[in-house]
Amino acid sequence: MRVNIIIIALIFLTSHNTWAASCDGLSLESCRATAGCGTDESGVCKNCSNSQYSDATMEKCTNCTNKPTENGTFNWGTKTNNESNSCSWTGKCNANFYWDGRQCKSCDQNYHSSQQQQLTFNGGTSSLPSANNTCTGNIYTITLEKNLTNIWEKAKTVFVKYGSGFADSKDATSWRPNPNLTPSIKWWQTFNGYSAGEKDRYLWINAKGELTNGKTNTSFTDDTKLYGQWNGVDFTVIYYASDGITENQRQSCTTAPDSETATSGCKVLDYNGNIDGQYLDYWKCTSGCEEKNVKLSPNDTFPINSSAKPDSIKLVAVMAPCPNGYYCAAGSKNPCPMGSTSNSGAKEISECYINNNTQFCDDSGNSCFNLPTGIKLYYKQ
């Protein structure tokens, strides 16, 4: 009775043992007829290794060829006694590749993959690992240059993730549809947007910070620098007489793009009209200039307020009496002709005269004379 129990126990253990000892001791004929078994060079029946297989018609074990071999690192699994060319394996795809369900496939252009999943195939009739595209869009830096001459505001930076959108950080977890960045300080300019060249008016990003002209986040395929584009701003200069109330004249101007000052050929004007015996000493800017009461002369440019655009620039005339030796007409100071002088407050050239202080000489300079004291010769207009 005990012998029978031992025999039954041995049969049970043998029938439930894994592939490790299933082929040992089989005859040549039985070995050939048993899948997963094969004879070695000495004719002894052995288990096929983890990288080999045999079916019921094969005498020897044959190398498996089902393991991926390209664009990744793969090793054979631990399962032995394989009955078909379907050995188990494990591995990972290389960086910038992903598993498409059958092989390691390269990420599309402007995409990359760094976190690779562990792939496991259990062999036999098991299913291959499911496809898993681990590729993600490349992240590029976009530098938004203000493209103006002032240095008070640095260029801004935004990041674009190919195929996803824009963010203020490379480590962002969410990406918005548009850059949403524009210059903070306009400096008396109208901001139009950003383009690919300093003088290129074809915009990639409009004045609201939105993509335009068909551009998308996939338009950026490398680190990119874009340049602000600007238009001048119209403004009016109102000139007043010395009383600060009576308007003397008006001037329409436009700031020049890419400049902090009101250039574009717009200069401070001279006084318009006649002022008896006075001349324009300077214009005093009382409103709209960078500094209040700044002194301006004709042909100066306007030192406009760079932080805000006023409705207009207000200039008030500061007059001065016409000095000796000059005559003052139309608000301008003009010297008397050579050799003549004038009294203070002269209004026109006919008030310039020659007196005994002027010496007359011949061409040789040897013979000279002065007018008698008290005699004046006035300039005839």
Cβ density class 86-105: b for 16+ within 10 Å, e for less? bbbbbbebeebbbbeeeebb
Q: Can you give the pLDDT at residue 9?
A: 35
**What confidence tier does 372 reach under pLDDT thresholds 50, 70, 90?**
confident
Of 111, 113, 110, 74, nearest in space to 96 by CA: 113
The CA-atom distances, in angstroms, between 66 and each of 59, 63, 120, 189 are 20, 9, 13, 68
| Contact (CB, 8 A) for 228 and 144 | yes
Helix (H, G, I), strand (E, B) or coil at 352: coil
Q: Return d(Cα 275, Cα 280) in angstroms, integer.
A: 9
| The two three-digit tokens of residue 80, written as one number | 């032995």
Cβ partners under 8 Å of residue 101, min gap 6: 128, 129, 130, 131
Beta carbons of 65 and 79 less than 8 angstroms apart: no
Are 238 and 184 in contact, with CB atoms under 8 Å apart? no
| Per-residue pLDDT, 11 | 36
Q: What angle do CA 19, 22, 26 make, to 5 degrees?
A: 150
Question: What tens digit of pLDDT does each residue of 294-333 get?
Answer: 899 999 887 765 555 656 789 999 998 999 999 888 777 8
Distance CA 376, CA 342 (A): 11
For residue 163, give both structure tokens.
């195929």
Left, alpha or beta for 50 (phi > 0: left; psi -120 to 50: alpha)? alpha
Residues 23, 11 contacting (CB under 8 angstroms): no
pLDDT of 263 reads: 54
Q: What is the pLDDT of residue 354?
A: 85
Using DSSP bridges, classify how beta strands 139-145 and 104-106 pair: parallel, antiparallel or unpaired. unpaired
Give the list of residues 6+ apart from residue 186 with CB closer than 8 angstroms, or none: none
CA-to-CA separations, 93 to 70, 116, 203, in angstroms, rounded: 8, 6, 41
- Cα 177-181-184 angle, rounded to 5 deg: 160
pTM flag (> 0.85): no
Output DSSP code: residue 13. Answer: H
Contact assessment for residue 350 and residue 380, using Cβ atoms and an 8 Å cutoff: yes
pLDDT of residue 171: 94
**How far is the C-alpha of 210 from the C-alpha of 178, rounded, in Å?**
5
Top mean pLDDT of 51-65, 149-163, 344-358 is at 51-65
Tell me which CATH code domain 138-232 carries.
2.60.40.4270
What is the pLDDT averaged over residues 27-35?
91
Lowest-pLDDT range, 70-74, 167-171, 350-354?
350-354
What is the overall mean pLDDT for the chain? 85
Confidence at residue 13, expressed as pLDDT on a 0 to 100 scale = 36
- What are the structural domain ranges in the chain? 138-232, 234-321, 326-378
Res 330: pLDDT? 72
Rounded to 5 degrees, φ, ψ at 102 are: -135, -30
